[in-house]
Chain A
């Protein structure tokens, strides 16, 4: 079983719709979770972090965490073509030393 799993996509949504990206992880001791956005040919850029169960909202982005189910998600409201990118879920391993374990990423395509 992979440590952090994501559907590779592509996830195709129309402009203005809600995009829903999902991630599951295997390390029950993990306490910190991150979503990075990576445009093609560019570096990963942090867009959300979440540490407690529930929802965390930042602008058009909402991260959701359910530690009991080992599940993290990212919702993007009012999706724009500029949101088209690969979204990487990252989980901080419970072994310390800020070791981030990344999923393979979900490619999101927002079409006009």
Chain B
């Protein structure tokens, strides 16, 4: 019954590989987000989709490509992984994109680049 679920929970891979992280929410929300939390625990937004439309696209290398097949799913594909990509990636969702609705977070995907 997890509200926002991400897979995989852990991802260990070699530099240069391509990997994907999947996110699904069953809250009926129409807005989803990807955040990156680095080793200093600083949580920073990367992307946001509202009803499958990209609405926030922060300064992120174009090796990162989000895809939202429907409003309940938001995936993140990363090409040519680099050491600096090691972090925890959190998916979140909220109802509405311009208001004050709180965001609910998934458990995170811990990405380690060897």
Q: Give A contacts to B, CB under 8 Å.
A: 31-32, 34, 38, 42-46, 49, 51, 86, 88, 92, 96-102, 104-105
Contacts and interface: CB of A to CB of B under 8 A. Distances in A.
A42 to B, nearest CB: 7
B31 to A, nearest CB: 6
Interface string B78-114: 0000000000001000101111111111111000000
B108 A97 contact: no
Contact of A98 (B43, B44, B48, B106): B48
Contact of A97 (B40, B41, B97, B100): B97
A97 B56 contact: yes
Given A42-B107, A44-B105, A98-B31, A92 B100 contact: yes
A104 B56 contact: no
Interface string B47-66: 01010000110000000000
A102 B56 contact: no
Interface of B: 31, 40-45, 48, 50, 55-56, 90, 94, 96-108
Given A96-B98, A97-B98, A99-B48, A104 B103 contact: no
Given A88-B43, A97-B56, A99-B56, A51 B100 contact: yes
A1 B96 CA distance: 30
Given A88-B43, A97-B98, A99-B56, 12 more contacts: A32-B100, A34-B102, A42-B107, A43-B90, A43-B105, A46-B103, A97-B48, A97-B50, A97-B55, A97-B56, A102-B43, A105-B43
Q: Which 7 A-B pairs have CB atoms at the shortest separation, nearest pair first?
A: A43-B105, A102-B43, A32-B100, A46-B102, A96-B98, A97-B55, A44-B105
B105 A45 contact: yes
Nearest to A40: B41
